[in-house]
Amino acid sequence: PPRGGGGARAPGGCPPPRHLAHPPEPDDVRRALREHPDAKGMLLITPTDWGTCADIAGVARVCHEYDVPLIVDEAWGAHLPFHPALPPWGMDAEADLVVTSVHKMGGAIEQSSVFHLQYDRVSPEVLAQREDLLGTTSASSLVYATLDGWRRQMVEQGHDLLDAALRRAERIRAAAADMPGLRPMGREVVDAGLAASFDPLKIVIDVRELGVSGMQATEWVRDHCHVDLGGSDTCRISASVTHADDDHTEEVLLGALRALVEGAGSIERRPSVRLPEPPVLELEQAMSPRAAFFAEVEHVPAERAAGRVCAETISPYPPGVPVIAPGEVITDEVLDYLRSGAEHGVLIPDAADSSLRTLRVVRTVS
């Protein structure tokens, strides 16, 4: 669950909550496995979009105590095996299966992802069959070529390339910290016990002191500086530094941040997003996702949706993490959060009605 600390200053000088979800800790996983003895495995997402990382080895030990496999979604971790100053790679931390999107922090083209498998809790035959079921029979030779090229480049030059990227990221973070209204996140999240480790190549900056949201900051930088940032949400923006960056791209990013600080006063203020407390996001699961998705459904006005079972996935983007999944019971608090986000300009691409004036729910039987 999200935990507090950091960010813009609240009245009285106390830092407000980050409103940032960090990965679960081993004790969280142990508690969940005790509550759900029929669980078949554990899916752990680390690093997060914001660079915070889980204690993979600790979670793996808990999973293996219960004889269930640990599957790590390491989409943002293609670079992790190639430099000791980076967070641990899942395969070095006893995960059973690691899925890596090499196109994100690596040097391969879009859709270049790989499986890493070890131990005997996941059958390689079953994994191959499931992949065949979902994958294309017309695989791209370009994808395979760039994957192979990336692997060779990292083996031969990875340490030096990433060493330079790490130094560059620290320069950018230090420069951003000197700009009024910007608060970059760093190792303080680890020192405070909020995350097991942190990827320093993620430049995550709280912009609330500028009086704008991260989404507004991203739009302004794109429109005025022709720079696309990697991610944003209500509180912050983020950029990724990789082995491919150089002095020019470093200065382009810093120039965009300076322009944002100078131009933030001209950004139109929008209605604020009413962020909920973390427990509010833990909704009751009344039906399985599959049963709810394929059930008889109806569309109801948002004002009458509380208490109904959702029949769709609703994911504000960025970062694209579902707030409501099929089978969960909709609440007034979550509706307030989502609808205020839509009014602010948050994209909700997967809802049947992206304005959230109506919601798709399971039809009730009278």
341 near 322, Cβ under 8 Å? no
Q: CATH homologous superfamily of domain 158-266?
A: Aspartate Aminotransferase, domain 1 (3.90.1150.10)
Question: In terms of Cα–Cα distance, which of 171, 151, 266, 253 is closest to 211?
Answer: 266
Residue with the two structure tokens 């950004």: 267
Q: CATH homologous superfamily of domain 278-362?
A: Orn/Lys/Arg decarboxylase, C-terminal domain (3.90.100.10)
Distance (Å, whole) CA 44 – CA 29:
10
What is the per-residue pLDDT for 19? Answer: 82
**Fold agreement (11-151, 278-362):** no
What is the per-residue pLDDT for 337? Answer: 93
Question: In terms of Cα–Cα distance, which of 235, 247, 327, 301 is closest to 273?
Answer: 235
Q: Count CB-CB contacts under 10 A for residue 292.
A: 22
The strand pairing partners of 299, in sequence order, are 360
Q: What is the pLDDT of residues 151-210, one digit of tens each?
A: 999 999 999 999 999 999 999 999 999 999 999 999 999 998 889 999 999 999 999 999
Token pair belonging to 126: 């079953």
What is the per-residue pLDDT for 20? Answer: 84
**Of all residues in the chain, what percent are helix, strand and coil, respectively (each to 5)?**
40, 15, 45
Q: Which residues of the chain have pLDDT under 50?
A: 1-14
Token pair belonging to 139: 């695989």
- Spell out the residues 6+ positions from residue 271 whose beta carbon is closer than 8 angstroms to its own: 340, 343, 344
Angle (nearest 5°) at CA 98 between 94 and 102:
135
What is the per-residue pLDDT for 224? Answer: 97
What is the per-residue pLDDT for 6? Answer: 35
- CATH 3.90.209.20 is right for the domain spanning 11-151: no
Question: In terms of Cα–Cα distance, which of 29, 34, 66, 64 is closest to 44?
Answer: 29
What is the per-residue pLDDT for 1? Answer: 34
Q: Where in the chain are the domains?
A: 11-151, 158-266, 278-362
Alpha helices in 178-213 (DSSP H): 188-191
